[in-house]
Amino acid sequence: MSQPTAPAPSLEVSGLAYAYPDGHQALFGVDLTVGRGERVALLGPNGAGKTTLVLHLNGILDAGAGTVRVAGLPVEKRNLAEIRRRVGIVFQDPDDQLFMPTVREDVAFGPAASGLRGAELEERVTEALKQVGMEEYANRPPHHLSFGQRRRVAVATVLAMRPEILVLDEPSSNLDPASRRELADILRSLDVTVLMVTHDLPYALELCPRAVILSEGVIAADDRTQDLLCDEKLMRNHRLELPFGFDPRSVTLDVPRL
């Protein structure tokens, strides 16, 4: 009797290279695999190619060379509608994603555009708002909410599409300590693969058991987040600095070894 086939990883990037039209080469052959349900931090200095990599995940940019697959589905033109449902990107500024008169309408926008109507659409909206603890704000205008609340609603707009991968661009930026903690609790509760692009190294350590460093267009390191942050030479070589007084060795984490 044949064994059941294991599900494809959430993300498979192989030999990905890309040059912008002006000739600037941003990626030089990126290889990255992210398993289903993993939470992985994408670290690296400014100009490393992090944004360029992310824009390949849902087909905003076309690979110059190499391939990208999301749950086994190639990122190519004929698959773009499904790819963009599977890869949900939450931008650094929530106001880039919130443009409707009410929170409910913002969260409903994506599923409605994909054809959902009636009770099924309402179920999606309610489910997504519940996941981020914003159900009671459904009828509020987004611009009446705090920055942290707007970020949670932005996450809900993506969750309403039931993505395979949640990509977060600097999720902790401009959040006060309470909002940081609330968002961290939400992200830990989600049954979804997470790729978190961040310069906030303590937040990466808190939320992501694994981290990769992208530097000069290639993956320079891929290991347990704590091990990477404790490697002073590696950090220095790739212009990554921990906050003053923060020692990752002092943090006890209940995470498996890779």
Is residue 258 in a domain? no
* Average per-residue pLDDT for the chain: 93
Q: Which pLDDT band holds residue 256 (cuts at 50, 70, 90)?
A: very low
Is residue 256 in a domain? no
Is residue 235 in a domain? yes
Q: Which pLDDT band holds residue 245 (cuts at 50, 70, 90)?
A: confident
CATH number of the domain that residue 120 is part of:
3.40.50.300
Is residue 47 in a domain? yes
- Domain total in the chain: 1
Instruction: Give the Cα separation of 115 and 177 in Å (integer).
Output: 39
Is residue 3 in a domain? no
Is residue 94 in a domain? yes
CA 98 to chain CA centroid, Å, is 18
* 101-127 average pLDDT score: 95
Sequence-separated (6 or more) residues with CB below 8 Å from residue 36: 7, 9, 10, 71, 164, 193
What would the pLDDT profile of 150-189 be if each residue is shown by its tens digit? Answer: 999 999 999 999 999 999 999 999 999 999 999 999 999 9
Number of C-alpha atoms within 13 angstroms, CB side, residue 93? Answer: 4
Confidence at residue 6, expressed as pLDDT on a 0 to 100 scale: 72
Side by side, which strands form the sheet with 73-74?
25-34, 11-19, 65-70, 73-74
Confidence at residue 4, expressed as pLDDT on a 0 to 100 scale: 58
Q: Are 92 and 172 in contact (CB under 8 A)?
A: no
Confidence at residue 257, expressed as pLDDT on a 0 to 100 scale: 46
Confidence at residue 152, expressed as pLDDT on a 0 to 100 scale: 96
Q: What range does the domain containing 144 cover?
A: 11-242
Is residue 184 in a domain? yes
Instruction: Give the Cα separation of 35 and 132 in Å (integer).
Output: 24
Is residue 136 in a domain? yes
Confidence at residue 104, expressed as pLDDT on a 0 to 100 scale: 96
Confidence at residue 3, expressed as pLDDT on a 0 to 100 scale: 60
